[in-house]
Amino acid sequence: MTVREYDLIVIGGGPVGENVADRAVQGGLSTVLVESELVGGECSYWACIPSKAMLRPAAALRAARDVKGAAAAVTGELDVAAVLARRDEFVHDWDDTSQVTWLQGAGIDLVRGHGRLTSEREVTVTGADGAETVLAARHAVVVSTGSAALLPDIPGLRDVQPWTSRDATGVREVPASLAILGGGVVGSEMATLFTGFGIPVTVIARSGLLRGTEPFAGEAVTKALRDAGADVRTGVEVERAERDAGGDVVLTLSDGSEVRAAEVLVATGRVPRTDDIGLDVVGLAPGSWLDVDDTLRVRGVDWLYAVGDVNHRALLTHQGKYQGRAAGDVIAARARGRAVDDRPWGAHVATADHAAVPQVVFTDPEVAAVGHTEASATKAGLDVRVVDYDLYWVSGASEVADHYTGQARAIIDEQRHVLVGATFVGQDVGELLHSATIAIVGEVPIERLWHAVPSYPTISEVWLRLLEAYGRPSPE
């Protein structure tokens, strides 16, 4: 059997794997990408891109209805068929031709099929026709296979053939009703989406919505969903699932009540796609998360790296791409015998996923957060001050919507006088987030932030209001 040799093998052709491969090629390494589905991965075809493409029309409609003058022009309801067609355009009808063309232009080879580690620095790829291709890496192998939906161990749940996030974002026909298990980002966004489609939606979230964010964020999304007609049930969990004679799913809850829906979406967490990639070759348990250092190298295996969801550091596309760029640079440097700058501020290491992870949740209202919450800062032992501001009182917000509601929170480290966390809730707040991220990552002193003057009238003026609420130190 012929063995094809490369400097680097990347298993997984999503945006994270693409970034690893691209940086490695730029560093002078020959690189091959192994992909069993579509080049571009989960984000491009089943997650970030299609979900946001479908969420935007309803958000635009809500925004227009909350501005006098524009509201009078809105005479119809959401065109669901057009929304799905828009989604199809964004995912190119699930065709990855353009992504493959990009790979070719970047000098990255592609082998389609399922890749498994079969020896040290060796990956065997099994194609759809059963044919095997053996790849050997001179320097490194990167695992970038992502994660899949977790299916909880609830009696009868597998038998009812529940939806995962892929089914929800790839929906062809909107069901008559939908039950959603889980109140995290996926559950909350999909509840927003399908409520916007005008169908009955029931959300079952034992610990409430968006746990892990500031409490006011989950409370605002819960209220908005209920105001839009969704049934949000908290403090209960599903004990049993079955389909009745009419085909509906019947969920029995821990309080004795029942929920009926045409379909049920499970959004209760993620598991790594590492169960069938040959981890036993390196003495690791199949199906496990991969523990890595800040250079993204798997601990204990000097030639194996793991980037993106599989290392469980931050299950977000932008953080995975950041890791991918760092890993590609590290692998290229080590392959060339160059020293790797592994200091916390070094160019070759990934540290932004420790305490400065930004995320926008595209619910109604939007939730944008980075860094610590009040609870996490307190748990970390930081001496912090919490500053809140009602976005209603920001002039730019009233320009955006006639009935704007929202809240901003800044978490300030009183010892260092720097921002360590920020959360914004409200329409269009996602565009506020990068300024907070820069302030946190750059450790910009609060005194310097007074000189970062926000433009007027924009929602960004909230930065001035937060600083005023915090108070400027008196001259010594």
For residue 371, give every residue at least 6 positions away whose Cβ sits within 8 Å of its Cβ, in sequence order, or none: 355, 356, 357, 411, 419, 420, 421, 422, 436, 437, 440
| Contact status, residue 160 vs residue 241, Cβ threshold 8 Å | yes
Q: Residue 235, by phi and psi: left (phi above 0), alpha (psi -120 to 50) or beta?
A: left
Q: Residue 444, by phi and psi: left (phi above 0), alpha (psi -120 to 50) or beta?
A: beta
Domains and CATH numbers, the chain: 3-40+96-148+271-352 (3.50.50.60), 48-89 (no CATH), 158-268 (3.50.50.60), 365-470 (3.30.390.30)
| Contact status, residue 373 vs residue 214, Cβ threshold 8 Å | yes
pTM: 0.95
Cα–Cα separations (whole angstroms), residue 374 to 283, 285, 359, 368: 40, 36, 16, 15
| Contact status, residue 360 vs residue 426, Cβ threshold 8 Å | no
How high is the pLDDT of residue 373?
A: 97
Q: Using 70 as the pLDDT threshold, list the residues of the chain that sit under it.
A: 1, 342-347, 473-476
How high is the pLDDT of residue 116?
A: 98
Work out the end-to-end distance of the chain between its first and last CA atoms, rounded to an integer number of angstroms: 77
CA atoms of 54 and 43, how far apart (whole Å)? 14
| Residue among 25, 189, 212 at smallest CA distance from 109 | 25
| Residue among 44, 333, 277, 26 at smallest CA distance from 142 | 277
CA atoms of 88 and 259, how far apart (whole Å)? 31
